[in-house]
Amino acid sequence: MNPFSPANHLILVILTPLVGALAAWLLGSRGVSAVRQSAAVTTLITLTGAVLLILRALPAVSAGHAFAVSEGPWLVDGPFDIRFSLGLDGLSIWLFGLSALLSVTAVMVSWEAIKEKPVGFYALLLILESAMLGVFAARDVMLFYVFFEFTLVPLFFLIGIWGHDDRRRAAVKFFIYTLAGSVLAFLGLLTIVLWNASHTGTLSFDIAKLTAGLAAHPLPMDARGGWLQWWVFLALFAGFAVKVPIVPFHTWLPLAHVEAPTGASVDLAGVLLKIGIYGFLRFSLPMLPEATAAAAPWILGLGVIGILYGALVALAQSDLKRLIAYSSVSHMGYCVMGIAALEPVAVEGATLQLINHGLSAAGLFALVGMIYERYHTRSIANLGGIAARAPWLAFMFLLFTFSSIGLPGLNGFVGEFMVLLGSFQRAWSGVAFEWRSSYLTMAVASVVGVVLGAWYMLWAVERVFFGASRQPPADHGHAPPSSADHGASGDDSHGHGGHGDGGHDHGPAAAEPTDDLRWYEWAALAPLALFVLWIGLFPATFLAPSAAAVRTAMAPGAAAFAARMGAVHGSPLPQTAQADAATTLPGAAIVPSDPPLTAGFERIP
């Protein structure tokens, strides 16, 4: 047996952060410096291993195959067939890499911020990394759920112990919301397993076998069958919608972001929100196609509502971190919209936008934390003129702002453009006549969201970084508020301080002698900036490996949607819509007359 086979390589990458967490605990007696250096080395080793694994996987994944598949018996007694099954494919490969990349950022932005209980903080951060890697590599329903739940526990403690003033309420709300949703999702997945077992005689939890099984004997979608497919879809939707989050299931997110330490916010915004969309792609679209098709217009509508609601609320924020939190609600709406459009170009754009948002949101949350470290405030009214004191910090904030609002040439433009293109394509030629005006209205409304996004982000940049400085004269004898009164003053011993939302802000403290980026902050931001430019200039590098898997996953839902629209209309759909559905049936090859809709994006300037 090859000790460095792809399967062993994958297992090693997932286990490395757990080993690093143990090392951090053992080094605790040597002080903060030893612990954080150990955590940084662990995340860099994990990232290196993940990059090498992805390079090995690209040929197989681009051809639509899984890579580094490993299986071991877990619970195979009696009727059960639960296995420790791991592997990567086109749906998971970039999210797996993103998890490893942002874990480095999370450690680096916490370098000087975490003074209290550093062993626990960095150990939990590394355990969270292992859980994030595992959830995207799991090929068994039970293993997926274990990793899915495992991400909740470290983040709960990271927010509850190292967060700001209202950290305990934020941690409890986050945990209750996400746990309730994940329990419903698990009940739905268990129903799928039982239904498949009723036809095969084996309680298999293998995701690939379940997908094939439900294609052969789908869950009933009529009154005679108890609308079982609908109920299972709604259970999965509840779990994944809370995780995204889709409006109106979003209320836990702004509080969790505002109260979380910066390292936790990076992982939450950059990776954990993506698990919901990944769940739709992995389970709902291929396993529950008829329910997906029936719900698609309403889910698309919720996505558009999220885009507009998040943008309008962001406009009203006075706390910079809360503004970025609501921008996440808005931008994740484009991912929801792309998935619900059930057009190949839109779904591929949505999967790319998961990565794009992960990079830009993580960068922005990291920079907000850096601003707080310097000025001990996140109140936009108490900031201003930072560009004169910290030009490189301002430059990086502008770069990630332009990425977030979709400036051409940066990563955000490609994903949003593909989602909008696919949404208009669906509206013009892929729906029945009576749905056309509704789809066009939603597509146009999503464009308004782009304008609003540019408005609130650029307005925030203008107030925070330019104009007259609103910081007081430097007083190097000034110290951050004491930790003796955490509830009333801004305790900086827990993450980036004890400030909750704007009502707890006590105004800016004196600027430090050197306000610009430090070496560990460059280490946190530079890799993200590199990918912002790389994806923006050469998007085909990231689109092509995922295209086959994305089209296979969406094919059953797209075919069911085309059939449903034809039935509603009472006559066949336009020829283009029929062709799209026909060429995306499970296992069908993409013929030369129907090239991937991502072709040519490598030429975007």
Provide the pairing of β-strand 67-75 with 80-88: antiparallel
Residue that wins the pLDDT comparison between 472 and 531: 531
Q: What percent of the chain has pLDDT over 70?
A: 85
Phi, psi at 83, each rounded to 5°: -125, 150
Top mean-pLDDT range of 74-78, 121-125, 164-168, 426-430: 121-125
pLDDT digit string, tens, across residues 106-137:
999 999 888 889 999 999 999 999 999 999 99
* Residue 74 pLDDT level (bands cut at 50, 70, 90): confident
- Burial letters for 403-438: b for 16+ Cβ neighbours within 10 Å, e otherwise? bbbbbeebbbbbbbbbbbbbbbbbbeebbbeebeee
pLDDT digit string, tens, across residues 169-227:
999 999 999 999 999 999 999 999 999 999 888 888 999 999 999 999 999 988 887 78
**Whole-prediction pTM value?**
0.86
pLDDT digit string, tens, across residues 434-470:
889 999 999 999 999 999 999 999 999 999 999 777 6
pLDDT digit string, tens, across residues 472-497:
444 433 334 333 333 333 334 344 44
Q: Does 590 score more than 70 pLDDT? A: no
DSSP assignment of 133-169 equals HHHHHB-BHHHHHHHHHHTHHHHHHHHHHHS-TTHHH
Q: Give residue 209's pLDDT.
A: 93
Q: Give residue 571's pLDDT.
A: 41
Beta strand extents in 39-191 (DSSP E only): 67-75, 80-88
pLDDT digit string, tens, across residues 20-56:
999 999 998 888 899 999 999 999 999 999 999 999 9
Q: Give residue 308's pLDDT.
A: 96
Which region among 71-80, 231-240, 433-442, 538-547 has the lowest average model confidence (pLDDT)?
A: 71-80
Q: Does 2 score more than 70 pLDDT? A: no
Distance in angstroms between the alpha carbons of the first and the last residue of the chain: 46
Q: Give residue 471's pLDDT.
A: 63
DSSP assignment of 400-469 equals HHHHHHT-TTSHHHHHHHHHHHHHHHHHHHSS-HHHHHHHHHHHHHHHHHHHHHHHHHHHHHHHHHSSS-
What is the overall mean pLDDT for the chain?
Answer: 85
Length of the chain, in residues: 605
What's the DSSP call for residue 284? I
Residue that wins the pLDDT comparison between 507 and 296: 296
> Are 231 and 464 contacting, i.e. CB atoms less than 8 angstroms apart?
no
Q: Does 582 score more than 80 pLDDT? A: no
Provide the pairing of β-strand 80-88 with 203-204: parallel
DSSP assignment of 486-540 equals TTTS--TTSTT-S--SGGG-----PPPS--S--HHHHHHHHHHHHHHHHHHH-TH
Domain locations along the chain: 1-287, 299-470+525-605
* Residue 3 pLDDT level (bands cut at 50, 70, 90): low
